[in-house]
Structure 1
Amino acid sequence: MARGGVAGVVGGGMVAVGQVLVALVVTRGFTAQVAGAFFAAIALCQIAAGVLRLDAGNGLVYFIARSRAYDHHGMSGYIRAGVVPVLVLSLAAAVSACLFAEPIGAATGVPPAWIGPLALVLPLIACSDVLLSATRGFGDMRPTVYVSGLFLPAAQLAGICAMAVAGAEAGLTAAWALPYLPVLALAWVCLKRRLPESAYRPGYMPGTFRDLWRHTAPRSAGAAIQAAFQRLDIVLVAALAGPVEAACYTVATRFKAVGQLAGQGLAQAAQPRLVRALAAGELERARELYQSTTLWLVAATWPVWVAYAALAPWLLRIFGPGYDAGAGVAVVLAATMMAASACGMADVVLTAAGHTTTSLRNIAAAVVVAVTVDVALIPEYGALGAAAGWSAGVLVKNVLPLVRLHRTYGLRPFGRHTLTALHPRMWRTA
């Protein structure tokens, strides 16, 4: 797990670096008005893709990880049961977005001409994520690291740099979207290589579709709300305070990807093991995994947040004049992410234990809190008001599952396994 966690963190770090560099190129190459509109458009696309994934990828991780005892027998049926609904729904959403580009643009401040390319890429984003998630169910982190952690951000950065050199603001969204086509192809090849011959069946195994979506459906709604929670603040700032304020807010919060993706990398490695431990009733093993990953997460991210809060007024100036106004946002971001990382992967553990409906309620409560604060504060305080709303939502999202885990399983993010996570024996036997 340690090796997989490190791989996930490396891949997440590359994505974070790519996002920061993209923001740097856009803010330096184009006006704040164009940059804010671009950030809002990308956020809108990522929200839609997060909804359309239906969390099928995590559902596949759950079933593939549990199937190890019988050699992944018939896993192709589960994969089809996960991919086909995502593909159909995302195609329908893409067509609808193209037809209603004008009203969507009017409501969000995104140029309608940018909506078409982003709509067409929705099926590629959603399906490639599901396929890459399935490879993690087999315990292999390499496809996720190489494809979505290295290739995708590098290709997007190259395309956006080309648009900046050419001064072609109209091609920004197309340059960001086109790399998802080879990503989908690579994800399929990586998954196919990991499926044993015995996994192939001419059709669905009895109960496959029902079993997958009985587990995944509650989490699908939760994943949709989570996708909105992660990026809705950018869209709200653009709609309520204008694209210039949205650009400042996006730049100041771009570094939150460092902490989020470090946690995501650890979660991707730990999730299959947590599922197996909790399914087998090995509560002590689950406790060890939870406390070890919490320590690694804190150790990896707290120095970053302390440094970012202290250096924000100078770091934000590299994006151009005026962006250092987001220093207050950076301080709120850093403090919130430190508190969140101290809670560990509470929601991941909760869903690994099968409490997907509880997770849905927790995320819904976090979104309600965040949006309420955003709507109240953004019109007057702009980016700082959005940061306050996001912070309130993050704290709710982490504290609620933490309380449930403690009451139901006696699990805590820190305990007797915390310090042993640093012992070399843990790394040798991981």
Structure 2
Amino acid sequence: MNREDHIIHGFKATLVARAIYMLSSALLMFVLARYLLDPDGYGALYWAIGILAIVQLFADLGLSRSVARYISEYRESDPGQVPHLLRSVVTAKIVLLTVVGYALLLFHERIAAVLGDPGAAPFLAAGVLYLVVFSGSTFAQVALQGFNHLGYSAIVQAISGAGRLLFAVAFVLAGLGALGAFFGYIVGYAIAAAVGMGILYYGFYRRYETAAEYEDGLSRRLLEYSIPLTATRSANVIDKQIDIVLVGVFLNPAAVAFYTLAKQITDFVLAPAESLGFTISPNFGEQKAAGELEEARRIYQTSLTNVLLLYIPAAVGLAIVAEPFLTMVIGEDYAGAAPVLQVLAGFVVLQAITNLTSDSLDYLGRARARAVAKGGTALANLGLNVLLIPTIGVVGAAIATVATHSVYVAVNLYIVHTELGLNVVGIARTTAMICAITGVMAVTVLLVTPLVSSLLMLGGAIAVGAITWGALAVLSGLVDPGQVRSVIG
């Protein structure tokens, strides 16, 4: 199988798993928001998860992605070092989880009180279990990515999504409320972690004959490379979660529900871009090591063009139909999320580019530069959130996210350009054509949206936009139907 076929195969596997994960997440969001929890309960659940995502930083650091990078490098050049790498990271993660988990168990009530919601204490106490199982699940996924076996990584992700859906709904129906939904998350991640670690151990760790000695300096380089990755991941989590936490601190659980719901919808829309970025990134490390920069450039530019072709129209369409979509699908109680979703539609395009680019920079060895950019924009995001949320409300958090992420994307693209020498003029010309197509599509959707009064008519409005986009994309030559059929097949 050549590299392009391998990428397509991995993309399909990852996309299917991501589809299962996102479909289960969408069903969970829909069932919890529309039927099982009120906005306050929904907000309380995801506020606690946002806090734990920040705590998780201290339990994981950047070790998972660091070891994935070195697995990708050593599995071909010196496979005997792979068991040493895995043992080092697993040992370090056990120590970190023990320390952070004990501290959280000891101070969970005090943390909840300081953040202004003593009622969150039970979530934080149970969060000790959440940290362990979530860490195991994500480590297995990233390590399997380092082995470039994306199908296994995809399985772990799919299991976590399906497990969360099944057990969260079951526990809420059993009368356990938002806390029951949280335990559903824990059980889902626990099953995924068990499967993932089992695949990692029996399928990969035992496959390699351990070298007699750990390569001198390798463990030091592993830890050193984890430092910029830790900074990047910390900034990324803060960028994604601190706004949710601050909305809860400055406003109320219902506002958290509106903001979280809007961000979850953007996550669903972004699944294909995340799958593509996850699939192609290990290949950049291999191509750089082999001196195949021309091939790396071609793959990245093709992927970027396809992402822009899909997500610029998707973002515009999402902004147009945000209000009828939320009120008809989720319920009138969540109409307050519409303006947030409209602002975050801009974030969809930015995050799609980020999903394609960020992991690739790690495998190109530019994690340090990306960490600096992410750290700076995350601090700016924090400052803007503190400034805007108390003054203009929950929409202020969305504005802060879009503004700071725009800077981060620009820096990422510049770093990729310095590594690969992108055809900037060609990319700009294609982007202008995509924007023109999007403008025509937007006009057609705006003309039919005032007529929408039911879910069927909403689906019709979306279909009109999709058909318009598809026809123009084919007529302009941006989409080759034959090539699309060959990829799908």
Give the TM-score of the pair, scaled to structure 2: 0.80
Task: Give the corresponding residue for 2:209.
Answer: 199
Counterpart Cα distance in 1 of 2:345 and 2:140:
33
Task: Give the corresponding residue for 1:54.
Answer: 61
Name which of 318, 325, 328 aligns with 1:315.
325
Task: Give the corresponding residue for 1:183.
Answer: 192
Deviation at 1:218, TM superposition (A): 1.7
Task: Give the corresponding residue for 1:405.
Answer: 416
Deviation at 1:112, TM superposition (A): 0.4
Q: Is the 8 A contact 2:150 2:279 kept in 1?
A: yes
Name which of 371, 396, 420 aligns with 1:385.
396
Q: Which amino acid aligns with 1:11?
A: A
Residues 18, 11 of structure 1: CA spacing in aligned structure 2 closer, same or farther, 3 A cutoff?
A: same
Counterpart Cα distance in 1 of 2:101 and 2:353:
39
Deviation at 1:120, TM superposition (A): 2.1
Q: Deviations over 1:155-176 (max 9, x none)?
A: 1111221233233224232222
Counterpart Cα distance in 1 of 2:347 and 2:111:
32
1:158 aligns with 2:166: yes
Task: Give the corresponding residue for 2:71.
Answer: 64
Task: Give the corresponding residue for 1:123.
Answer: 132
Q: Is the 8 A contact 2:162 2:188 kept in 1?
A: no
CA RMSD of aligned residues (A): 2.7
Q: Is the 8 A contact 1:53 1:127 kept in 2?
A: no
Task: Give the corresponding residue for 1:274.
Answer: 284
1:92 aligns with 2:103: no
Residues 9, 302 of structure 1: CA spacing in aligned structure 2 closer, same or farther, 3 A cutoff?
A: farther
Q: Which moved more, 1:268-277 or 1:340-349?
A: 340-349
Q: Is the 8 A contact 2:277 2:357 kept in 1?
A: no
Q: Deviations over 1:327-378 (max 9, x none)?
A: 1111111123224435773333332221222111100111112111111111
Q: Is the 8 A contact 1:156 1:179 kept in 2?
A: yes
Task: Give the corresponding residue for 1:331.
Answer: 342
Name which of 295, 298, 301 aligns with 1:285.
295
Residues 390, 242 of structure 1: CA spacing in aligned structure 2 closer, same or farther, 3 A cutoff?
A: same
Q: Which amino acid aligns with 2:383?
A: T
Task: Give the corresponding residue for 2:150.
Answer: 141
1:167 aligns with 2:178: no
Residues 6, 354 of structure 1: CA spacing in aligned structure 2 closer, same or farther, 3 A cutoff?
A: same
Q: Which amino acid aligns with 1:138?
A: F
Task: Give the corresponding residue for 2:265.
Answer: 255
Deviation at 1:407, TM superposition (A): 4.3
Residues 285, 38 of structure 1: CA spacing in aligned structure 2 closer, same or farther, 3 A cutoff?
A: same
Deviation at 1:70, TM superposition (A): 3.5
Counterpart Cα distance in 1 of 2:355 and 2:199:
30
Name which of 198, 208, 215 aligns with 2:225.
215
Query: RCO higher in 1 or 2 (8 Å CA, sep ≥ 6)?
Result: 1
Q: Is the 8 A contact 2:81 2:210 kept in 1?
A: yes
Counterpart Cα distance in 2 of 1:364 and 1:260:
23
Q: Is the 8 A contact 1:152 1:180 kept in 2?
A: yes
Rg bigger for which structure? 2
Counterpart Cα distance in 2 of 1:343 and 1:30:
33
SS at match of 1:345: helix
Q: Which moved more, 1:345-354 or 1:280-289?
A: 345-354
Q: Is the 8 A contact 1:294 1:343 kept in 2?
A: no
SS at match of 1:199: coil
Deviation at 1:275, TM superposition (A): 0.6
Q: Which moved more, 1:213-222 or 1:76-85?
A: 213-222
Q: Is the 8 A contact 1:347 1:398 kept in 2?
A: no
Name which of 7, 16, 19 aligns with 2:25.
19
SS at match of 2:191: helix
Q: Is the 8 A contact 1:66 1:276 kept in 2?
A: yes
SS at match of 1:168: helix
Q: Is the 8 A contact 2:58 2:96 kept in 1?
A: no
1:45 aligns with 2:52: yes
Counterpart Cα distance in 1 of 2:208 and 2:279:
25
Residues 289, 52 of structure 1: CA spacing in aligned structure 2 closer, same or farther, 3 A cutoff?
A: farther
Q: Which amino acid aligns with 1:399?
A: A
Q: Is the 8 A contact 1:274 1:289 kept in 2?
A: no
Q: Is the 8 A contact 2:171 2:183 kept in 1?
A: no
Task: Give the corresponding residue for 1:3.
Answer: 9
Q: Which moved more, 1:313-322 or 1:96-105?
A: 313-322
Task: Give the corresponding residue for 1:112.
Answer: 121
Q: Deviations over 1:306-347 (max 9, x none)?
A: 332222112212323331122111111112322443577333
Q: Which moved more, 1:50-59 or 1:199-208?
A: 199-208
Counterpart Cα distance in 1 of 2:211 and 2:220:
17
Q: Is the 8 A contact 1:237 1:246 kept in 2?
A: yes
Deviation at 1:129, TM superposition (A): 1.6
Counterpart Cα distance in 2 of 1:52 and 1:89:
5
Q: Which amino acid aligns with 1:9?
A: L
Name which of 333, 347, 352 aligns with 1:341.
352
Q: Which amino acid aligns with 1:198?
A: Y
Deviation at 1:203, TM superposition (A): 6.9
